[in-house]
Structure 1
Amino acid sequence: MNAQHIYDIVGIGVGPFNLGLACLTHPLNELSTIFFDGKNEFDWHSGIMPEGSTLQIPFIADLVSFADPKSPYTFLNYLKLHNKLYQFFIRESFFILRAEYNLYCKWVAEQLENVHFKSFVERIDYDETCKLYTLRVKQSEGDITVVTRNLVLGTGTTPIIPKFCQGYPEQVHSSADYSSHKKDYLNKKSITIVGGGQSGAEIYYDLLSEIDQHQYQLNWLTKAPHFFSMDLGKLTLEFTSPDYTSHFYSLDEDKRDQVIASQNVLYKGIELSFVNRIYDLLYQKSLHRPLPTRMMPNCALDNLEKNGNHLNLTFNNSDVNKRFKLESDVLILALGYEYKIPECLTPIRSHINWDSKGRIELNWNYSINDQNTIFAQNIGIYSHGFTVPDLGMGCYRNAIIINTILGREVYPIEKRIAYQEFAPLAEEMVPPVKTMLKSNNTELSF
């Protein structure tokens, strides 16, 4: 890596989205690319992978297939090269085990010489004259300097932990760290899970599976009005499409915020068959004796106090507007994830566009500056809709980024795949009609 060499793309962070970008740019000789990540190796949510948990989207939504199904980095090629293709076929499930998806991504990362781990980007500067970005990258063998024309931010999100829950590392954990703590949980007298999404559901099911063996009290609470399943009907799935993404982006900022607030059932719930598995397990486990478990919707955690070896958790039930307390040895927070702006961007903040609410403002092509030279992955639910973190839309976004940088359509972009129309055509829209009523000889306008 020569500091004098000018790259076309430097990717910061190597999760599935930037790893997919590395795959799709690899065969393009006209692009010089390099990707950095501070982790020791590729690792995607390995902390929350109870045995048997799967992705919630079909295997074709891998790193490359929606942009280039002939790529050597497809999941099917991974299976073929690892002598697993027939086994996957006989298994008769479109959904990849999460642990297997992680192995697949690790395999891909090992094939790419332009992907570098143990490489932390400390600072980014911009030269107005040369129109180039200079990155200072910390590596174990020493700092290096890299120069590029374009940046693609692929840093991941971090678990949401309320401030009042911080400072209790022995007893308060995020769902992202579940696997590393599970052995300790089995020896506790009481465990409380907060969060009603897929992660909370998988942890609850995993601990419920062993509840009669270890005899702990198991509580699962969510502030949502019910433990709801995601709407995965086929017409609903058309909302995870290029068509709907374009429509959503066309709305004004306030309208987008209003719409996304109403779409929890489309992306924040639990996979329906998994809801049914939880109920079946509850039924099975309670056949001979009452189960020491509580499931409570409409309950928001609003305080925590340490009491000896226990935690006193204060919740508010929104139905009756009453606060109550639960005692628990352990608290597992499955409240989702949030994006934090990398510190390395501080020197170039003035080159980034911000919306009226202080959020990074994304253009339609996922760039975040006027020059279309800084791009962002995994952020912008407020601008591009709930499909932003969806693995199935990663190829679509990466194709747009590549096409924008090269100024031509290297990877074709699907523009109309949905049967539904999310807005009338421009030529069909007419201004509001003024209603006229006549009262005696007077015309009244409304």
Structure 2
Amino acid sequence: MVGGGQSGAEIVNHLLADDQDLPASLTWLSSRAGFLPMDDSPFTNEWFTPSYVEYFHGLPADRRAGLLTQHRLASDGISESLLRDIYQRLYHLDMVVGAPVRHQLLAGRRVVGLSRDGGRLTAELHDEDSGRVESRTADLVVFCTGYRSSLPEFLELLRPRLVDEHGALRIRRDYSLDWDGPQELRIYVQNAAETTHGIADPNLSLAAWRSARIVNSLVGREVYRLDHFSTTVAWDRSSDHDEDPAYVTP
């Protein structure tokens, strides 16, 4: 199993669940420093609010890139309850049942090659700590390593007019692309704006708000109100003032 995120963990949990159908062995790889929990704490969830998306979009590109790295475990980690379930299940299999499954959990490993050797697969693993490359053989390899947004094939001819010097889409605040075509011909994106709108972009919790932004932009008027959101954290630096914080409402 390749991938230290929620999907990989759920498959590992499934493979270990049935005493009558256990694998002979299981190797679970994570490219991170460990099998890390998702940060679902209240203040972290402030990153998944319209106010923060607006604030994030206004930051310089290099600052946005740095913040995305810091925010990654707010969406890509493993739920703490699932981590606990897997840990307790492995302990039970080892100490109570008597190790019916040979298992290795390898952190800091990244698959850099995969080849077939007869009826088996050989995976080449790069050790992020030592720099060495090691190999593991398996009957089956499952990749749960995430995805990247890519430009749809039908837009490829327009690529030079849509991307910046780094090859990234130029995305306006209202999710329309900043391109050199006629202003009345707009192209909008959904789930392709993480670099400009933050870690919440692929998240369904803001789907209605994102759609409302796009509808308002399309028709050129406020069909849906978008100015009544507040957060516990004061993101917008332009609203900083000297009043007593005890009497200030976000």
TM > 0.5: yes
Give the residue type in structure 2 aligned to 1:201. A
Separation of aligned partners in 2, 1:313 and 1:353: 38
1:412 aligns with 2:225: yes
String of CA shifts for 1:375-423, please: whole Å, max 9, x gaps: 1001011100111100001111100001111122211115532110125
Q: 1:215 to 1:365 in 2, by over 3 A?
A: closer
2:163 matched residue in structure 1: 354
Give the number of the structure whose residues are more often helix, by fraction: 2
Deviation at 1:427, TM superposition (A): 6.1
Q: 1:317 to 1:347 in 2, by over 3 A?
A: closer
Query: Secondary structure at the residue paired with 1:234?
Result: coil
Separation of aligned partners in 2, 1:427 and 1:223: 40
Q: 1:318 to 1:349 in 2, by over 3 A?
A: closer
Q: 1:394 to 1:230 in 2, by over 3 A?
A: same
Deviation at 1:347, TM superposition (A): 4.3
Query: Secondary structure at the residue paired with 2:31?
Result: coil
Tell me if the contact between 2:15 and 2:22 (Cα under 8 Å) persists in the aligned partners.
Answer: no
1:380 aligns with 2:193: yes
2:246 matched residue in structure 1: none
String of CA shifts for 1:44-102, please: whole Å, max 9, x gaps: xxxxxxxxxxxxxxxxxxxxxxxxxxxxxxxxxxxxxxxxxxxxxxxxxxxxxxxxxxx
Matched positions, count: 236
String of CA shifts for 1:254-280, please: whole Å, max 9, x gaps: 111111122221111011211112122
Separation of aligned partners in 1, 2:98 and 2:230: 52
String of CA shifts for 1:310-363, please: whole Å, max 9, x gaps: 11111122233332211111111111012221121234446x532231111110
1:340 aligns with 2:153: no
Range moving further from structure 2, 276-285 or 304-313? 276-285
1:289 aligns with 2:102: no
CA RMSD of aligned residues (A): 2.0
Give the residue type in structure 1 aligned to 2:216. N
Q: Greater CA radius of gyration, 1 or 2?
A: 1
Give the residue type in structure 1 aligned to 2:151. I
Give the residue type in structure 2 aligned to 1:401. I
5+ residue gaps, structure 2, are 243-250
2:247 matched residue in structure 1: none
Separation of aligned partners in 2, 1:339 and 1:262: 20
Query: Secondary structure at the residue paired with 1:228?
Result: coil
Give the residue type in structure 2 aligned to 1:419. T
Query: Secondary structure at the residue paired with 2:86?
Result: helix
Alignment partner for residue 82 of structure 2, among 258, 267, 274? Answer: 274
Separation of aligned partners in 2, 1:274 and 1:411: 38
Separation of aligned partners in 2, 1:208 and 1:353: 47
Separation of aligned partners in 2, 1:335 and 1:200: 8
1:315 aligns with 2:128: no
Matches of residues 49-198 of structure 1 in structure 2 within 5 Å? 193-198=1-6
2:34 matched residue in structure 1: 226
Give the residue type in structure 2 aligned to 1:424. R
2:138 matched residue in structure 1: 328
Separation of aligned partners in 1, 2:156 and 2:115: 36
Separation of aligned partners in 1, 2:162 and 2:67: 23
5+ residue gaps, structure 1, are 1-192, 430-446
2:54 matched residue in structure 1: 246
Give the number of the structure whose residues are more often strand, by fraction: 1
Tell me if the contact between 2:15 and 2:23 (Cα under 8 Å) persists in the aligned partners.
Answer: no
Alignment partner for residue 395 of structure 1, among 195, 202, 208? Answer: 208
